[in-house]
């Protein structure tokens, strides 16, 4: 792949990652509730989920999703259901522990939520299809396809890792500690509203 094309791909991937949405809410919430370890685990797992969608797109799965409204709706509803689960969990929280030391189980849970919020987003598959169609040559070698998949995954993970680095600073976390319960509830409301929006679109009401 030519450098100019790769830079164009990188720029689009970065802009896509920077766009606010449920992924940002989940990564931030994991960081605030589990510290930087959980935050980085969530960021890396989210990047893995994005890269997996990139790989599936190259393999042609996104074409199937684009042509199957039923499958698209099923994925939308599944993603909305997961967002509602995360939202209710945050609303029921009594407050987050913002200390820097955490168990591996907490990091594993954060990684799972980071991965699922990406993988259960059918719009990501459509985005990958639209994006890769501009850059992918059907006759491209495996190495070029691998570079494209790696670019979308690494860019996404790097952006969210930067977010984690900014909000997991000790002084910043100490300031947030007193408002941890309120923050959890705000995140919960945001996630549920996002899920409601997804369900309304899936039902064709908006």
Inter-helix orientation angle 122-135/3-18, to 10°? 160
Supply the pLDDT for residue 128: 77
Supply the pLDDT for residue 103: 39
pTM, entire model: 0.71
Q: Please state, as a whole number, how many other Cβ atoms lie within 10 Å of the Cβ of residue 147.
A: 14
Supply the pLDDT for residue 105: 46
Supply the pLDDT for residue 60: 73
Q: Among candidates 105, 119, 94, which has minimal Cα distance to 180?
A: 94
Per-residue pLDDT of the chain (206 residues; tens, 9 = 90+): 778 878 888 888 887 787 767 888 888 888 887 888 888 999 999 999 999 888 888 777 666 666 777 877 777 788 778 878 878 887 887 655 444 443 344 788 889 989 988 888 877 777 777 777 667 766 678 888 889 899 999 999 999 998 888 886 767 656 656 666 777 787 788 778 878 877 887 777 76
């Amino acid at each position: 792949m030519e450098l100019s094309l790769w830079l164009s791909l990188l720029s689009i991937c970065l802009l896509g990652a920077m766009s606010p949405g449920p992924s940002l809410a989940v990564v931030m919430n994991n960081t605030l509730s589990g510290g930087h370890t959980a935050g980085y685990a969530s960021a890396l797992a989210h990047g893995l989920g994005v890269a997996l969608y990139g790989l599936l797109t190259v393999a042609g799965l996104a074409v199937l999703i684009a042509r199957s409204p039923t499958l698209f709706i099923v994925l939308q509803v599944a993603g909305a259901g997961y967002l509602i689960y995360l939202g209710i969990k945050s609303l029921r929280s009594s407050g987050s522990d913002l200390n820097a030391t955490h168990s591996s189980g907490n990091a594993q849970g954060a990684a799972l939520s980071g991965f699922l919020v990406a993988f259960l987003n059918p719009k990501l598959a459509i985005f990958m299809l639209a994006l890769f169609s501009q850059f992918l040559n059907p006759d491209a070698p495996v190495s070029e396809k691998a570079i494209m998949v790696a670019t979308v995954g690494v860019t996404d993970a790097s952006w969210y890792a930067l977010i984690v680095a900014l909000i997991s600073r000790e002084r910043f976390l100490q300031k947030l500690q007193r408002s941890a319960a309120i923050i959890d509830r705000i995140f919960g409301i945001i996630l549920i509203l996002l899920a409601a929006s997804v369900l309304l679109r899936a039902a064709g009401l908006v």
